[in-house]
Amino acid sequence: MPVLLVLERAPALSQLLAAADTVGLGCTLQIPDGGTDPRIAGIGSLSSAGGTEISFLSNPRLHGQLDDCRAAAVILRPEDWKSFRARHPDAVSWAAVLCAQPYLMYALLAQWFDRHRLAGLPRGIHPSAVVADDAVLEEGVSVGPLAVIEAGAHLEAGVRVGAGCVIGPGCFVGRDSLLHAHVTLYHGVTIGARAILHAGVVLGADGFGFAPDPRTPGAWAKIAQLGGVCIGDDVEIGANTTVDRGAVEDTVLGNGVKLDNLIMIGHNCRIGDHTAMAACVGVAGSTTMGQRCVIGGAAMFGGHLTLGDDVHISGGTAVTSDILKAGRYTGVFPVAEHTAWQHNAAVIGQLAQLRRRVRAAERQGAASLTGQPADNKQDTQ
């Protein structure tokens, strides 16, 4: 489950594959002997899909679930299909979609069903929405209840603005972007085409910028944040994630960036194309990340850092220095029973002292071999 369409409106499997954006995947359709091209009304798992749904096999460990699958069709690799047929040479009840990337094929079909769902939603400007006289709303723009579109904002064709959103002065939202309920864009935010912003996203709030003010002990003078936020094409930002505006230059998210829920991107950061971050990541200001980086949940980044392309950071890792070489990096202290953890933490706190003792022993050993007196100078490293 779920069934997403009534059967009378469901496309045939071959039509669905042609309508979805599957160019380049090179799939092959195998219809059971004596069968017909089935109508596909939804997508389900191997264990739950019914006779009007399509499913997929991407994890070889689930191969056994094919035995009892009741789906109308299954997406799977050619080698998995061959293995299944070797175990079940008799007739098969479901159509096979043979594809080298079944998980990607599933994702693309799910996108098709979601586009179909969105197309069925009401369009137009809700009577309770407030739209400035000089705002530009191109063809097919929809604005939900109690949304506010402020002066000079420009929404390209096909944009959907959910209930209670605020689009600030001078903002630009690219074509076919979707803003779910209660998204807030401060002034001058630019968003590319086909963006998806989930509920509670805030783009363009002031960055955390303050200068010490010695005129009053302990006081801080606010630094006005005069830059903006620039979001590329095909970016998705999860619920309650925030991206601060730059102090002078823009905070930038490149094309295809994917941010999960509850992420904080500080001012002046630059996030490279197709970088993805899981939930609760915190990125301090003026950090630059390269392209195709993958950041695990709750990772933390100190400010003014640089990450190269293709850097993968494990969840919970604190990054405090530049990482320029591609690869996976982990800095999480392993979980343990609390008393054991305390003992291990105490040992780690003594590593510097242990290092000095080892170096002193090495010098003493070298002196005994050479017959020279040991250099007992203090090791300060």
Alpha-carbon distance 143 to 137, whole Å?
10
Contact criterion met (CB below 8 Å) for 62 and 82 = no
Q: Which of 311, 104, 115, 94 is nearest to 196 (CA)?
A: 115
Contact criterion met (CB below 8 Å) for 286 and 306 = no
Contact criterion met (CB below 8 Å) for 195 and 213 = no
- 8-state DSSP, 150: -
Hey, what long-range contacts does 325-330 have (CB within 8 A, 24 or more apart)?
none
**211 class by beta-carbon count within 10 Å (0-12 exposed, 13-18 middle, 19+ buried):** exposed
Contact criterion met (CB below 8 Å) for 296 and 315 = yes
Alpha-carbon distance 28 to 49, whole Å?
21
Alpha-carbon distance 294 to 201, whole Å?
21
Active site includes 267?
yes
The residue from 180, 267, 274, 312 that is catalytic is 267
**294 class by beta-carbon count within 10 Å (0-12 exposed, 13-18 middle, 19+ buried):** middle
Give the tokens for residue 48: 């739950």
Give the tokens for residue 2: 């779920």
Q: Helix 351-370 to helix 338-349 angle, to the nearest 10 degrees?
A: 50
Positions marked catalytic? 267
